[in-house]
Amino acid sequence: MAEYENVILNNLQFLEIMREDLVGNSFLFETQDEVLLENFSKSFAKFLLCSGKIKPCNECISCLKMDKDAHSDVRIYPKNNKNVLVDDVKDLIENIFLKPIESDKNIFIFNEFSSANLQAQNKLLKILEEPPKNSYIILNVTNPSKILPTIMSRCKKVRLKPLSKGEMLSAFQNKEISKLENAVEIAQGSLQKAELFLNDDVFLQTFKNCLNTILELKDSRYLLKFSSKLRAEKDNILLVLEIFESLFRDLLLIKLDKESLVKNKLHLKELLSVCEEYDGDSLDKIIRKIFETKKILESNCNADMLIDSLLLYILEVKYLCRR
């Protein structure tokens, strides 16, 4: 069963889509919340395939197979779980003209279709121009700017809204209530963020402190504020360095126009907002410095001093970059 099926089946946007005429269509679902995308499209497929009167009936063979992730007429890509490749589209083409096995529809779901390269997109485009009857192609997309306009125009586009607070609370109702309220507030309607936040408190706090440091460390007046916050993470100093490294690497990728490779996609907007403060060279220097600091940490140096000197270095590089 899709993990958050109960929430999604009652979601207003989901109900709205299901009310429409859904015969043989291509869909593009868009939001930055990958967890919502995956569960939304799975629930959608279950609804389409159900042969019961009130859908999903949870009793017919299709529903039972969907609950076990074992429906032969539903194919989920990418097969490598990373990037959509031309081989995934080839697999779709091999199967889309065949008769469905257990139902009367063939359904193809692409998770993170934004990762598909031009070759894969062009190949899919040919099918989207004239898809066989009773086939459904669902593209889950976190970054629509990576999708060919010709693909966009052939799909029914649905921009998924963040879940409401009530939906979020019921999605995680088995979690400890004290944690839950906090995580739901910060996640702002994103299942993906909430999962991350609920699974690892330490990670969340440290990540937040690191991100805020990058977003707000404008000059030396702010140094004490952030260095004392990060010093509170003393036991996690390596985690602090890892998170910094991943965030600065993302900033560098943005500078190099390789946004699709950014790891912290959920924070892309925030990263974009500070990326003007650096040039490629300064980011390269900072990443080297972090790497160096990790080496020193291995030799058991005073962690407080390491963080202070790293933050000072970042300020210095930013200052030189402004001149």
Interacting residues with Zn ion (CB under 5 A)? 50, 52, 56-57, 60, 63
Q: Judged by CB, which is closer to Zn ion: 100, or 144?
A: 100
Structure tokens given for 39: 């569960």
Return the half-sphere exposure (C-beta side, CA atoms, 13 A cut-off) of residue 75: 21
Q: Judged by CB, which is closer to Zn ion: 42, or 285?
A: 42
Structure tokens given for 75: 């194919």
Kind and range of the H or E run holding 205: helix 201-216
> Whole-number minimum distance, CB 62 to Zn ion, in Å?
5
> Whole-number minimum distance, CB 9 to Zn ion, in Å?
12
Nearest-angstrom CA–CA distance, 8 and 310: 45
CB atoms within 10 A of CB 318: 18
> Whole-number minimum distance, CB 8 to Zn ion, in Å?
16
Nearest-angstrom CA–CA distance, 314 and 277: 11
Q: Residue 162 carries which DSSP code?
A: P
> Whole-number minimum distance, CB 147 to Zn ion, in Å?
32
> Whole-number minimum distance, CB 139 to Zn ion, in Å?
25
Alpha-carbon distance values, 31 to 14, 122, 165, 191 (Å): 14, 23, 17, 11
Collapsed DSSP state (helix, strand, coil) of residue 130: coil
Kind and range of the H or E run holding 123: helix 118-129
Q: Judged by CB, which is closer to Zn ion: 67, or 245?
A: 67
> Whole-number minimum distance, CB 105 to Zn ion, in Å?
13
Nearest-angstrom CA–CA distance, 188 and 181: 11
Q: Judged by CB, which is closer to Zn ion: 1, or 223?
A: 1
- Residue 27's beta-bridge partner residues? 138, 156
Q: Judged by CB, which is closer to Zn ion: 52, or 280?
A: 52
> Whole-number minimum distance, CB 5 to Zn ion, in Å?
13
Q: Judged by CB, which is closer to Zn ion: 71, or 289?
A: 71
Nearest-angstrom CA–CA distance, 119 and 167: 39
Q: Judged by CB, which is closer to Zn ion: 1, or 297?
A: 1
